[in-house]
């Protein structure tokens, strides 16, 4: 990884020992399995090889994307010979090397679009927010929502308009809940940059924006020093050596619904031992609640990748329908049309549970049901399976451009 020593130094909390244990994905392959009517066979292959999945639940999904280490490639190809498979990454390590070729960021530079030519270290993301505020001091300030499990700041940017800060209803945007979803960080920052540099619709005069590009700094840092594919936070769990909770299964609302999250501490979607016990969950909940207690939350949006989806409640149930379903569907349809008009990228709208899968203890249901956000939304950004989590840097700016168009449509119509 280029600039690795710089990244490690800037993270501060990363130890030399953690760097020495970096997971090497050289030679790993990533496959998409089109399940069809072969659910049992796919389940046998995935379980017998103990493969980590990027996307899809074997029992219920049409496709399952899996990582295969070099030692199991031959066996996987033999076992999956009768299955419909596609190769996503021929060498995951090589794809990661391209993605982690970070451009050097000069602290204090005037923010411009070149920021979106590459991915960046955690320290540079924090500095970028500070530089945005320096460039637009009358409309923005950096805030710290709280501390992570490992003591890092959860840093955001508050953007306001001519009425002064705190004068309008709140719009809250969260990125990088799942640590490996790097494109979400960049797209959230692209939206912040547009609000400050090119907001011709004066959205910041309508709403106060509370934007946190990296709500899971510990996990994000871990993806840059140790394991690029890490998803959860870095909080330990009593009586197990497995680390981390899925922050988006830990919110204290509709928590622990059967089928909506895993009860296993080793699982990627582990819900945690108790509702809302995640250190970062508590911070994010308290901040969202504070915005709700002020002028109220007009819009909450949680950014994820990948699958190209534009979704709304409910996540915890596939049978329940929100009273505002028709209004939400109209907004979602308009947003995906605006997104497609930019680069031709197609997003699918719909309720979370019916569109992707059941998710309990998630932030979107909490924002809708508890924080009373008028609009509570989640998106899954690019792509649909060519690159998955390791999206090439060349797609950062196009992703930001199309999603900003979708966001602009929503902000103009809520």
Inter-CA distances, 145 with 154, 179, 287, Å: 6, 18, 6
Last residue of a domain, one of 38, 70, 99: 99
- pTM of the complete model: 0.94
Q: Is 301 exposed, middle or buried (0-12, 13-18, 19+ CB in 10 A)?
A: buried
Within 10 Å of residue 74's Cβ, how many Cβ atoms? 10
Q: How many domains does the chain have?
A: 2
How do residues 68-123 score in pLDDT, each as one tens digit? Answer: 999 999 999 999 999 999 999 999 999 999 999 999 998 888 899 999 999 999 99
244: left (phi over 0), alpha (psi -120 to 50) or beta: left
Residues 1 and 7 sit within 8 Å (Cβ to Cβ): yes
Q: What distance in Å separates the CA atoms of residue 79 and residue 57, rounded to the nearest whole number?
A: 19
The domain that holds 313 is classified in CATH as: 3.40.630.10
The domain that holds 36 is classified in CATH as: 3.30.70
pLDDT of res. 59: 82
Residue 238 counted as domain residue: no
One domain for residues 35 and 94: yes
Residue 242 counted as domain residue: no
One domain for residues 274 and 331: yes
Closest alpha carbon to 383 in 55, 35, 25, 90:
55
| Partners of 87 in the β-ladder | 31
Residue 24 counted as domain residue: no
The catalytic residue among 99, 380, 401, 402 is 380
One domain for residues 87 and 113: no
One domain for residues 92 and 110: no
One domain for residues 330 and 366: yes
| Residue 390: DSSP 8-state | S
Residue 2 counted as domain residue: no
How do residues 5-34 score in pLDDT, each as one tens digit? Answer: 334 434 444 333 334 489 999 999 999 999
One domain for residues 140 and 88: no
Residue 243 counted as domain residue: no
380 is catalytic: yes
H helices within 21-91, ranges in order? 39-48, 73-79
Last residue of a domain, one of 67, 99, 131: 99
Residues contacting 332, CB < 8 A, separation 6+: 310, 311, 312, 349, 350, 377
User: What range defines the domain where residue 86 resides?
Assistant: 29-99
305 pLDDT tier (thresholds 50, 70, 90): very high
Last residue of a domain, one of 64, 84, 99: 99
One domain for residues 120 and 83: no
| Mean pLDDT, rounded, for 281-298 | 98
58 pLDDT tier (thresholds 50, 70, 90): confident
Q: State percent of the chain over pLDDT 90.
A: 90
Residue 237 counted as domain residue: no
Look at residue 218 and tell me whether its pLDDT is greater than 80. Answer: yes
């Amino acid at each position: 990884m280029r600039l690795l020593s710089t990244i490690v130094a800037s993270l501060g909390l990363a130890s030399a020992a953690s760097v020495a244990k970096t997971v090497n994905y050289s030679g790993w392959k990533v496959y998409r399995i089109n399940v069809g009517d072969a659910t049992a066979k796919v389940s046998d292959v995935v379980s017998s090889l103990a493969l980590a999945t990027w996307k899809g639940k074997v029992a219920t999904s049409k496709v399952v994307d899996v990582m295969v280490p070099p030692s199991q490639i031959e066996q996987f190809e033999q076992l999956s010979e009768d299955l419909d498979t596609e190769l996503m990454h021929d060498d995951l390590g090589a794809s990661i090397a391209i993605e982690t070729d970070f451009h050097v960021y000069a602290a204090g530079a005037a923010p411009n679009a070149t920021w979106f030519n590459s991915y960046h270290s955690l320290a540079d993301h924090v500095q970028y927010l500070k530089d945005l505020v320096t460039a637009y001091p009358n409309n923005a300030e950096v805030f710290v929502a709280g501390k992570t499990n490992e003591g890092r700041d959860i840093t955001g940017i508050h953007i306001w308009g001519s009425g002064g800060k705190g004068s309008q209803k709140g719009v809250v945007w969260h990125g990088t809940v799942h640590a490996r979803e790097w494109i979400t960080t960049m797209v959230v920052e692209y939206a912040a940059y547009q609000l400050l540099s090119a907001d011709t619709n004066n959205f910041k005069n309508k709403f106060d924006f509370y934007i946190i590009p990296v709500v899971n700094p510990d996990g994000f840092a871990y993806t840059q020093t140790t394991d690029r594919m890490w998803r959860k936070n870095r909080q330990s769990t009593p009586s197990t050596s497995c680390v981390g909770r899925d922050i988006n299964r830990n919110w204290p609302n509709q928590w622990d619904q059967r089928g909506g999250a895993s009860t296993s501490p080793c699982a990627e979607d582990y819900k945690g031992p108790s509702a809302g016990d995640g250190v970062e969950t508590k911070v994010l909940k308290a901040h969202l609640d504070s915005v709700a207690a002020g002028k109220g939350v007009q819009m909450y949006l949680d950014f994820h990748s990948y699958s190209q989806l534009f979704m709304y409640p409910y996540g915890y149930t596939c049978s329940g329908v929100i009273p505002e379903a028709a209004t939400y569907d109209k907004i979602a349809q308009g947003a995906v049309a605006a997104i497609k008009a930019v680069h031709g990228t197609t997003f699918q709208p719909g309720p979370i549970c019916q569109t992707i899968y059941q998710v309990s203890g998630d932030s979107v249901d909490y924002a809708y049901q508890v924080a009373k956000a008028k609009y509570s939304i989640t998106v899954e950004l690019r792509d649909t399976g060519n690159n998955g989590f390791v999206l090439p840097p060349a797609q950062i700016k196009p992703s930001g451009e199309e999603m900003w168009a979708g966001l602009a449509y929503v902000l103009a119509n809520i």
